[in-house]
Structure 1
Amino acid sequence: SIAMVSAIDAEGVVAGGQRIAARTVLWGAGVAASPLARTLETQLDKAGRVEVASDLSVPGHPEVMVVGDLAHVKRDGGLVPGVAQAAIQEGKHAALNILASLRDAGRAPFRYRDRGTLATIGRKAAVGQIGRVQLSGQVAWLAWLAVHLVYLVGFRNRLLVLLDWAYSYFTYERGARLITGVSRRSPAAGLMRQASLSSDFLQEREGAPT
């Protein structure tokens, strides 16, 4: 059966109001769209994305454009995937449509062009498909590196990312993304603790011998 997961901790998960004991949890679900979409008072899909018109505008509000992960864009009976290349294409198309509106010209519908898919699966290992060509192994890994560097904005960003990758590669450093839960402490509590520590420090300094 399918149930909504409401909590994950070290002892297991809570799904559909029932606790399931587990030491290892594999997260394979998607993510919800930004809550910003709910402020537009327009039609949203189940993931909270805005169901945009063919020109990427909000229905009834041609002056508002939505692109990227927040946009529900139809394509050949399905949806445009929420990936970086789609967001880049949508952003460029939205800019062209805005310019067309400023010039009192007609807007063009958005057409997504799939330029391929690449994904890393390990050290010097990746898989990919560009058109009918399938890639794997070190060739796909090098292609993934090159594509990501090319699409970064600015030479400085490219250089910093390249140096970071090189450091991780030669030092075998591995990053980790951990779900640690939501902090129950309010921001005010944190500020009060900082103020208390500062006060204690000043008192120690005032009482210290000169």
Structure 2
Amino acid sequence: RVPARTVIWAAGVTASSLARTLGGVAGAEVDRAGRVTVEPDLSLPGHPEVLAVGDMVRIRREGAEPLVLPGLAPVAMQQGRYAARLVRDRLAGRQTAPFQYHDKGNLATIGRASAVADLNFVKLSGPVAWLGWLAVHLFYLIGFQNRYLVLIRWSYSYVTHGRGARLITEPPPPPDA
């Protein structure tokens, strides 16, 4: 907890302009954040051949407000896998169930060798949560080489106390005339 009198949220919460374009072309509803409303199978209304996923969509529900899922990688990953299965099943002539998001919890690093984890069945913090964060992120990388290189870079950064991001506070030098 950080004591403060005022907390300001300054992250972007607007969908990609592609969502508004898709909504306009398909005649689909677009909310004020720019998310296009899709069918429960993630297709554009009236266009079952066009699928949209990620933080640019909200999902139509019968008799309820459209479902807006968090703009997080796990949502897009699950929607991407669902869309791939949907295309495969349609080509094979099989019916599919509507998309259902399964929340597996949240992980966040909060400092050197420290993280928080809310995995729905257990809450952790500190080095154990940090090791869990590392393991999960390595697991979801594609290919052994990518996992190995990222692990080497993270290890080097950890041992050398390297910072993950550097701020550039000086203007670039003028170009040579």
- What TM-score, normalized by structure 2, do the two folds share? 0.79
Task: Tell me the secondary structure at the aligned position of residue 45 of structure 1.
Answer: coil
Task: Tell me the secondary structure at the aligned position of residue 117 of structure 2.
Answer: strand
1:39 alignment partner in structure 2: 21
1:175 alignment partner in structure 2: 164
1:26 positional shift: 5.8
Change (3 A) 1:113 1:74: farther
- Determine whether 1:80 maps to 2:69: yes
Task: Return the index of the structure with the highest Cα Rg.
Answer: 1
Separation of aligned partners in 2, 1:111 and 1:179: 42
* Percentage identity across paired residues of the two chains: 56
Segments of 5+ residues of structure 2 without an aligned counterpart are 1-6, 170-174
Tell me the number of residue pairs that the alignment of Structure 1 and Structure 2 aligns.
159
Q: Is the 8 A contact 1:74 1:80 kept in 2?
A: no
Which of 91, 103, 106 aligns to 1:114? It is 103
Segments of 5+ residues of structure 1 without an aligned counterpart are 1-24, 181-192, 201-210
Is the helix fraction higher in 1 or 2?
1
Change (3 A) 1:99 1:84: same
Q: Is the 8 A contact 1:128 1:134 kept in 2?
A: yes
Change (3 A) 1:167 1:73: farther
Task: Tell me the secondary structure at the aligned position of residue 55 of structure 2.
Answer: helix
User: What is the aligned-residue RMSD (CA, Å)?
Assistant: 2.6
Q: Is the 8 A contact 2:29 2:37 kept in 1?
A: yes
1:157 positional shift: 1.3
- What TM-score, normalized by structure 1, do the two folds share? 0.67
Separation of aligned partners in 1, 2:124 and 2:78: 24
Which of 12, 26, 29 aligns to 2:11? It is 29
Separation of aligned partners in 2, 1:145 and 1:60: 42
Deviates further, 71-80 or 42-51: 71-80
Runs of 4+ in 1 over 4 A off after TM superposition: 74-78, 177-180
